[in-house]
Structure 1
Amino acid sequence: MITRHLTDISSKGFKVHEISGAVDTLHNHNRRDYYKIVLVTGDMILTYGDQTIEINGTILFFANPRVPHTVVHRSKEKKGYACLFTEAFIAGRERAEILQSSPLFRTDANPVIPVNSEQAAFLGSLYREMLSVHRSDYDYRNQLLRSCVELIIHEALKIQPSPNGLQQKNAATRITHLFMELLERQFPVESTGDPLRLRTAQDFAGALSVHVNYLNRAVKGFTGKPTSVHIAERIAAEAKALLQHSNWSIADIAYGLGFEYPTYFNNYFKRVTGATPKSFRKRKV
């Protein structure tokens, strides 16, 4: 069943299904290529990034593929609905504003929103509409499915309380942890064919779907160092390791670390470490 769902997502960009019956006690989510919105009733513990959230009731859960999560079910059964989709399926200029402000794309937002029986009934009707449309041969079904997802997001934004000072502080802490995790996840660099993709504060802000100024404020406020310094130190540390413990050429190291030309890497490494890659490599014993 799970394989069929994921195959549909891969080929069509969207999948919706009903959740019912017995469930696995532990569910790990490690995929990084699709988003998920779940309306579910159950008793469970959700670990999302650096958060641990206890749930007993009906909730709307927004899973961002950039944030790993684990669900431990404490009840034998759960019920609800889930829709899964790629960013390419849902994204579009006309939807950019609502998506970027939603807990679906903002990794600093609370991913869990409790809902009451009236809200759950309305959200459930949207999922049932998606199930019906997804099975149909309606010519404009993708547009209708996107509209249903957008309605769910609007409802979530209506329900979700406005952030207060403490929540803002917690959000800044969380986005800093996510930045550090995303930075570290890129290493070690193991192939020049799979070069480093995220090398600037703007790159990371885009990956985390937050404004670069917000990311910089959060990271510097929490760690005392700018985002750019963390990135430069980690790239330099990886460069040192490759220079000392691999037989890669300096050009290969440059390409593996995402530099377009070896000269750019040489200048970068010297600026950060005070030595050229060649002179640093000569220190290898």
Structure 2
Amino acid sequence: MKREDLSSFYERINYTTQEQVSAERSHINLFERASCQGMHPYSRRDYYKVTLIIGEGRLEYANRTINIDRPALLFSNPLIPYLWQPLSQEQEGWFCIFNKAFVHQRDELLTELPMFQLDGQHIYFPEESVVNEISELFRKMMAENQSTYPFKQDVLRSYLHLIVHQALKMQPVNDYEPPLNASSRITSLFLELLERQFPIDSMQNQLQLRSATDFARQLSVHTNHLNRAVREITGKTTTEHIASRIIVEANELLTHSDWSVAEIASSLGFEYASYFNNFYKKATGKTPREVRMGCV
């Protein structure tokens, strides 16, 4: 699956930016959704995006399908591929796109918040009064983005934080309590290390850590200690977490890439395609080829 960067995005919507766009240079931009209508291709994007959706449609992400029938606030990040299919003629609202350099220029706290985490909540349904407040923030961002003020990125960052906090208010505070004990910390580090290996967006980018021992070595803990901690906190074994994540990535590649089954097997760290076939069928009840044929 090809990853879309900001330059590719601008090319897709036929937009000419006035500044140089690169991964190393801080960049943020604002658009009205009405100016970028149509189905968005299912892909991973090499940038962050915050969208206020006003209009009906279907959102597919992280093996989930959500029907949007009321205003929604969507947070997407480079880790999660998604597809948006509009189902109504009215498609209003705004979206803001920015790269990692924009975040890292001042603080990294923004991307550490739940809505930008892989396992966090990414879609929110604000009440009408909150929709109006968020709409006004986007209008102010649009106006600021057109200004010549030399520190406008700092102003835009402040507005973005306000939008994020509107979303955070929609969830219980307890959802964001940090880990309190050693087992929680080890489990959190394990899950973060597991997710860092994905997405597999190149056949040269093979999966390196595939066993509990591999992860324990990276985390400088004994394998048994890692297994006990992960099972205590999650109720699942380390091996189950690894296998489950590999299956998720396999489904993404089988459904949305043109790689052969053998190439997918190799990218996921299987020495032989037959090993991958057996692993996949044991987990899902279907062969990789059956899943792929079902997508044709």
TM-score w.r.t. length of structure 2: 0.58
In structure 2, the residue matched to 1:53 is 66
Give CA-to-partner distance per residue, 1:54-111, whole Å, 9 cap, x none: 1101010001121110112111221000000001102356x434531230x2111121
Asked if 1 retains the 8 angstrom alpha-carbon contact of 2:207 and 2:269, the reply is no
Q: Count the aligned residue pairs.
A: 214
Aligned-partner Cα distance in 2 for 1:130–1:89: 15
Asked if 1 retains the 8 angstrom alpha-carbon contact of 2:73 and 2:126, the reply is yes
**How far 1:155 moved relative to its partner?**
1.1
**How far 1:137 moved relative to its partner?**
0.5
Asked if 2 retains the 8 angstrom alpha-carbon contact of 1:187 and 1:238, the reply is no
Aligned-partner Cα distance in 1 for 2:41–2:155: 30
**Closer/same/farther in 2, CA of residues 44 and 163 from structure 1, 3 Å limit:** farther
Aligned-partner Cα distance in 2 for 1:31–1:7: 25
1:10 matches 2:25: no
Asked if 1 retains the 8 angstrom alpha-carbon contact of 2:230 and 2:237, the reply is no
**Closer/same/farther in 2, CA of residues 181 and 106 from structure 1, 3 Å limit:** closer
Structure showing greater Rg: 1
In structure 1, the residue matched to 2:165 is 154
CA-atom RMSD in angstroms: 4.4
Q: Which of 97, 110, 114 is equivalent to 1:102?
A: 114
1:185 matches 2:200: yes
1:20 matches 2:58: no
Percent identical: 24
In structure 2, the residue matched to 1:79 is 92
SS state at 1:225 partner:
helix
Aligned-partner Cα distance in 1 for 2:69–2:53: 10
**Closer/same/farther in 2, CA of residues 100 and 6 from structure 1, 3 Å limit:** farther
Asked if 2 retains the 8 angstrom alpha-carbon contact of 1:9 and 1:85, the reply is no
Unaligned 5+ segments in structure 2 are: 1-9, 176-186, 220-225, 247-264, 274-296
Q: Which amino acid aligns with 1:185?
A: I
In structure 2, the residue matched to 1:115 is 126
Asked if 2 retains the 8 angstrom alpha-carbon contact of 1:20 and 1:79, the reply is yes
Unaligned 5+ segments in structure 1 are: 165-171, 190-194, 206-211, 243-285
Aligned-partner Cα distance in 2 for 1:21–1:230: 39
In structure 2, the residue matched to 1:41 is 54
In structure 1, the residue matched to 2:285 is none
TM-score w.r.t. length of structure 1: 0.60
Q: Which amino acid aligns with 2:111?
A: L
**How far 1:46 moved relative to its partner?**
0.6
Asked if 2 retains the 8 angstrom alpha-carbon contact of 1:43 and 1:55, the reply is yes
